Amino acid sequence: MLDALTALVTDTVADAASEWDVSGEIPVGVLRGLSAKGVLCAEAKPEFGGLGLSGADNGELAAHTGALCSSLRSVMTSQGMAAWTIQRFGDRAQRGEFIGRLTGGDLAAVAFSEPGAGSDLAAMTTTIRREGDEIVVDGLKTWITVAGYADWIVVFGRHEGGGAVALVPASAPGVRVTRVAQPLGCRAAGHATVVLDDVRLPERHLLAVAGQPVLMLTTIALTYGRLSVAWGCVGILRACLKAAARHAARREQFGKPLLQHQLVARHLAELYAAERTATFACEQASRSWDGGSPEQVQAAVLAKHVAAGNAARGAASALQVLASAGAADGHVVERAFRDAKLMEVIEGSNEICQLMLAEHAASAAG
């Protein structure tokens, strides 16, 4: 199945990634088509309309997609995280209805961050409260991936002294979505600001886990997202390595190919090592995820930290090798340079990952 899915993504993207990046838009029909085929949340269970991929296979699919188009991979991450959140936190009726929508053509964003709550998600101020047989959602969410395309926004907020997750139709009264203009990276991923002003919904839109601690809810959901981003960064590294190696073998300077200049060869060696290291970290994290290991949170943080950092440095090295040949707007390496930098910030910045890993190391040392 994985081979068929990667072939489908290859055929879908074809040579359009640069055009999507420059225009800041993936045709919504393309996204809905992939959603209806289950590709955007391929790990969702078949009983809910998903394809039931393992975490490892889903990771390789994310890497393949990330090598072609990080904006499309970002949509895949968002859709997958939305489906995982519903699968993990919803009751059976909610899972059947809403995951079925996400494998049937609908698109979903996941809303964590706020103006005062980025790395510190415990500081979020969005509220989700019950009023009779309805819930009411109020808040402001910023830099929400896919919100510009979304039919559904999976909103994390505060509820009765704990946390909650609400499934908010983007078309509901009181929801306002404003695109982020010309974002640095993943330009076509539909980043947007979402205003939620007295949004009233039936109570079935409140996932069953309501009242649990905010950080527990966000950590469980973010673990999926971090794994997907990490694998996407592996894809960025693979694309950069391929482009740099081809250029170094064909481009001549001072009478010989760039590859024969030791300082250029060093860049390629470091790119190869970065891709291999990131891949190994992601494979280990996916094994932990698939096996239900208690170490899966730390493994995902490690994979995301290693892969994002390696992708940012690797894209810079690739750009150094290609020079002006890779600097044109929309070129695969130019896109990678911008996209990879954004990956060092989202789903837990480098610094937050380092703090989490340091705490884990100290705890393990006793």
Tokens coding 160: 């009765």
Q: How confident is the model at residue 249 (pLDDT cuts 50, 70, 90)?
A: confident
Rounded to whole angstroms, the Cα distance separating 92 from 86 reads: 10
- DSSP string covering 291-354: TT-TTHHHHHHHHHHHHHHHHHHHHHHHHHHHGGGG-STT-HHHHHHHHHHHHTTTTS-HHHHH
Burial degree of 320 (CB within 10 A; 0-12, 13-18, 19+): middle
The pLDDT tens digits for 104-133 are: 999 999 999 999 988 888 889 999 999 999
Handedness of CA 51, 56, 59, 61 (dihedral sign): negative
Q: Do the Cβ atoms of 108 and 153 come closer than 8 Å?
A: yes
Whether the predicted pLDDT of 366 surpasses 80 = no
> 67 or 348: which carries more pLDDT confidence?
67
Chain centroid, CA 167 distance in Å:
19
Q: Do the Cβ atoms of 154 and 85 come closer than 8 Å?
A: yes
Whether the predicted pLDDT of 255 surpasses 90 = no
Instruction: Work out the end-to-end distance of the chain between its first and last CA atoms, rounded to an integer number of angstroms.
Output: 44
Q: Rounded mean pLDDT of the chain? A: 95
Rounded to whole angstroms, the Cα distance separating 236 from 314 reads: 9
Whether the predicted pLDDT of 205 surpasses 80 = yes
The pLDDT tens digits for 62-114 are: 999 999 999 999 999 999 999 999 999 999 999 999 999 999 999 999 999 99
Supply the pTM of this predicted model.
0.95
Strand-pair category, 134-144 with 192-202:
antiparallel
Compute CA distances 184 → 151, 334, 340, whole Å.
Answer: 24, 11, 10
Query: Please, what is the Cα angle at 191 between 186 and 192, to 5 degrees?
Result: 165
Q: What is the DSSP letter of 150?
A: -
- 166-201 exposure pattern, b = at least 16 Cβ within 10 A, e = fewer: bbbebeeeebebeebeebebbbbbbbbbbebeebeb
Burial degree of 250 (CB within 10 A; 0-12, 13-18, 19+): exposed
Rounded to whole angstroms, the Cα distance separating 27 from 33 reads: 10
At residue 118, the pLDDT reads: 84
Rounded to whole angstroms, the Cα distance separating 317 from 298 reads: 28
| Unique residue bearing structure tokens 């830099």 | 143
Rounded to whole angstroms, the Cα distance separating 154 from 222 reads: 13
Which residue, among 215, 323, 308, has the nearest Cα to 263 in the 3D structure?
323
Contacts of 246 (CB under 8 A, 6+ apart): none
The pLDDT tens digits for 309-321 are: 999 999 999 999 9
The pLDDT tens digits for 11-34 are: 999 999 999 999 999 999 999 999
Proportion of the chain above pLDDT 70, given as a percent: 100
At residue 114, the pLDDT reads: 94
Whether the predicted pLDDT of 210 surpasses 90 = no
| Unique residue bearing structure tokens 């390629």 | 268
